[in-house]
Amino acid sequence: MALAENTGKGRRTAPLAPWIRGTAKTIGSIAVTMLGLLFVTFVIGRVMPIDPVLAIVGERASQSTYQQVYEQLGLDKPLIFQFGYYLWDVLHGDFGMSLLNARPVSEDIARVFPATLELATLGTIMGVALGVPLGVVAAVRRGSWIDQLARVVALVGYSMPIFWLGLMGLLVFYGVLGWVGGPGRLDIFYQDIVPTRTGMILIDSAIAGDWSVFKNAFSHLILPASILGYYSLAYISRMTRSFMLEQLSAEYITTARVKGMSEWLVIWRHAFRNIRVQLITVIALSYANLLEGSVLTEIIFSWPGIGSYITTALLSADMNAVLGGTVTVGLIFVLLNVFSDLLYRVFDPRAK
């Protein structure tokens, strides 16, 4: 009887072993990746031809003042010890103090990141909502005018510099037609009206029920989000078309058609179902690229996001802010990749 009980326990606990190993492997991979990212960004910050001490004390400070601040920042210690102190602080959520405003960098990042998150999220939604159907239709109608149109749209999206599209968009839709709001997130009249809860104005104004602020925020957001959405659409539609063409040429699609299955079921239930896992990676990478690569868009539209924050900090030799922002973006990129791996197991049982 005892043997039977032990066997039953083994059967119940055995399925947990692969899950535990997989979780430990994922956590270890994240830890190693982040450690490497922290080390690389720290070393780059130290070897750059920017003196953080001069950024604090100014060029007219005395040598004794310079030396005092130099030692306070720990720059007199070996590089490996500096990295150890920096790593310890980061693990406790401390990226140091910003040299520009004397506030903790972590507070600045928490303040500016929701603006980038709001912009990139809406841009990704636009890219997915338009890019996936366009890619599917282009693959199904291969060689037709809509296929040619999809390829031209993708080519233009890849080729056009994003800053040029932003400037032309401001000139046409804001300067000439007046259809959208100008640079910034809100007009001056609407600022600080709704309480900040999430940092994303559309959500905060909706929660507060202030639809005038919502409308004004949307008018400012729609153009830069559309620029990023077009960039995302070009990538997603091209990859979707490529994945669908591969599936539509497979034997099981021919078999389904021979059996008399409707074309709609062949396309969406069979072909599209088999590219969902690949599309997860494409969408996750697109989203991550918009989160980390919206610097030019934020600068053109005076969008107070993390891209503008890192750029301003870099031009001002505020290396604490630069390193903090870079590590934050890198962490988000890693987490999005992990999230896409988890979705694999949901949509593809073979990944389990």
Q: Which of 71-80, 123-132, 197-206 is predicted least confidently?
A: 71-80
**pLDDT attached to residue 130:** 92
Residue 57 has pLDDT above 70, yes or no: no
**pLDDT attached to residue 51:** 67
DSSP three-state, residue 86: helix
Please provide residue 195's backbone torsions phi and psi, each rounded to the nearest 5 degrees.
-70, 145
Q: What is the separation of C-alpha 138 from the centre of its chain, rounded to a whole number of angstroms?
A: 27
Q: Which of 17-31, 250-264, 286-300, 315-329 is predicted least confidently?
A: 17-31
One-letter identity of residue 243: F
**pLDDT attached to residue 129:** 92
Please provide residue 143's backbone torsions phi and psi, each rounded to the nearest 5 degrees.
90, -10
Tokens 């997860």 correspond to: 280
| Mean pLDDT (whole number) for 328-352 | 74
| Mean pLDDT (whole number) for 238-249 | 88
**pLDDT attached to residue 351:** 55
Count of CA atoms in the C-beta half-sphere (13 A) of 263: 4
Residue 188 has pLDDT above 80, yes or no: yes
One-letter identity of residue 331: L
For residues 104 and 97, the answer to whether their CB atoms sit within 8 Å is yes
Which residues fall within 8 angstroms of residue 337, CB to CB, at 6 or more apart?
Answer: 284, 288
Which residues fall within 8 angstroms of residue 144, CB to CB, at 6 or more apart?
Answer: none
Which pTM was predicted? 0.80
pLDDT averaged over every residue in the chain = 81
| Mean pLDDT (whole number) for 286-308 | 83
Which residues fall within 8 angstroms of residue 264, CB to CB, at 6 or more apart?
Answer: none
Residue 63 has pLDDT above 80, yes or no: no
Confidence of residue 167 (pLDDT cuts 50, 70, 90): confident
| Mean pLDDT (whole number) for 269-292 | 84
For residues 300 and 182, the answer to whether their CB atoms sit within 8 Å is no
Task: Give percent of the chain above pLDDT 90.
Answer: 9
| Mean pLDDT (whole number) for 221-230 | 91
How many CB atoms are closer than 10 A to CB 292? 20
The rounded distance, in Å, linking the Cα atoms of 293 and 86 is: 26
| Mean pLDDT (whole number) for 123-136 | 91
